[in-house]
Amino acid sequence: MLRILVLLIIGIGVGVLLRGRSCIKATKWSIQATVCLLLFVFGVSIGSNRDLIDNLYNFGWQAMVIACLGVAGSIVAAWVAQRLFLKKGGKL
């Protein structure tokens, strides 16, 4: 965990130093490609786990409930934040 935090802090520092340069503009594409690759590898690891696939129904409904409650909570939080922080004109 400490290694991840250190890498994150180093990445933030490099981002601050390289802010506004053309190489940073390429990060949008690279981030999207990295996320897609990570999702693919995650899917392969799930598909290769026989125990997980055999119990997909048991895990699936729990994941669906958690996802739905997470989305509902986000909607409520966004609504509350909008009511608290935005003026009638819709701007801060």
pTM: 0.50
Please tell me whether residues 49 and 6 are part of one structural domain: yes
Q: What integer pLDDT is reported at residue 51 of this predicted model? A: 87
Domain check: are 49 and 64 in the same one? no
Number of structural domains the chain divides into:
2
pLDDT tens string for the chain (92 positions)? 899 999 999 989 988 888 877 776 677 788 889 999 999 999 999 889 988 888 888 878 888 999 999 999 999 999 999 988 886 655 55
pLDDT, position 78:
95
How far CA 15 is from CA of 1, 29, 35, 90, in Å, comes to 21, 16, 19, 32
Containing structural domain, residue 14: 1-54
Distance CA 46, CA 53 (A): 7
